[in-house]
Structure 1
């Protein structure tokens, strides 16, 4: 199977789609120049009425600049993590979906002002936000589908372990023996407090400002937070599985035949990954590594046959790594 088109598809999904969304938005706004007021409403206060304005040209520059910035971000991230197909799709969906949402929101709000002599007192229509969000989600799905599902490179040979990782342990697993290791993993302490506080502040702002769509957004954030920051990690003869404890989603599975070896590494969330959650390391010894960073401390590090690396912060990571290596020894004859 050839994979020469994979990098092109990844760049088109993560950078091309944002540029396309921005270009369409700029063309529409400039095309309506003669129908729009000289000052377009661009910001709404807590009472839902317009309190910020800008020229047609400024609005067009806003759309184009935002799209260009996210396209550049998508290009850089895709090139940095191109060995990881899952992260590539996530990057593409985020950059394309976010740009489409912002572009659609600005365009739809501008469209509501066509034919007006003055935008003073214009109220923020809630359906516009819902429509823009729906379009953003649709474009995000399109980007994820367009991005390659397999890495562009072939099977990579194992190199030295990253700094701080221990030599791969190994448990002996007998023929016919069935073994399972499973542990819950979650976020606690300061990260959890920040997430809860952020969601609460968003909800309060929505109630005080009578912006019910903001309140709805805070509820969505609360559900996503609960789903993303509490998982169950399982190692068995199928490989490594990470599953959300609340809904069974998100789910990440790496089959045993895609695993080269497992080890244990100490993770510092902010320094190594820039925060908590599903993260990708951009610098340092774990550069290019993706996975669930829910707290600091020991983590299971899985090196895949495609050259990518996955990390999951979980207690007793050494046992999980040892079992994976034992299963690899039994099935393939070596780690």
Structure 2
């Protein structure tokens, strides 16, 4: 019997897409309303960047309005497209929560910038109090929680029985290999946005404040597309954007006790995308869906989401059996 207290999720991709678009639309309307109310009281240029409460970056009014609206529209479109394409994956409610968090954080910053500049005769005299940062974060967290509540519960992936493992029939004395590439559109978008924002901040406000954004983009992009390889040596993960010898992770076959395949939910099991570590397990999860789960000889698990995971797991089990036979002999 279904609980009457549980929120019902939107029934299809269109409903979820509109739910994700709502906060961006609200922020754009509020931003436009505030601008109309203070337009004749703004200096030109505006103070748009602050350090130690003092203005140290400036932009023209048209430039600030164009950049702000373009960023809100771009992020709203990207989030909406990702949610529309990924329904009914279990991580969609968290994507919607991310929409509300992101739109609220940006809206607070953009609207706050207009209000801080209102009635200032000189943009260099504008001040941004330190408490604006925690207040803005609190507003964004509240909005994210609201978005998660409105998104409701997503249907869980069906899971394969833990003991359902298999082997490939590879004749003794011969070897076989398996390889697939897995990419994460959200991480690709995030990496590109971080690099783009870093370049914009670097040009407008200096490269020192942009260093964190550029570093974040440089870290995220190599994780956004990875080649997963299984051969007689074990399991290897290699970023497709870096030289072939670079490895994110290699698990030798003699450290593998058993491998299996099942559906993996990014947020429910690992709390998000990317290289994740939690108690008793770690993994590279770039999407929710089919994945290889390797149980190591030390009792820990390693998971990687990838297509054709059953074949990869079966081949790993074949090589693990051979390694155990050699050690036993």
TM-score by length of 1: 0.48
Structure index of larger Rg? 2
TM-score by length of 2: 0.48
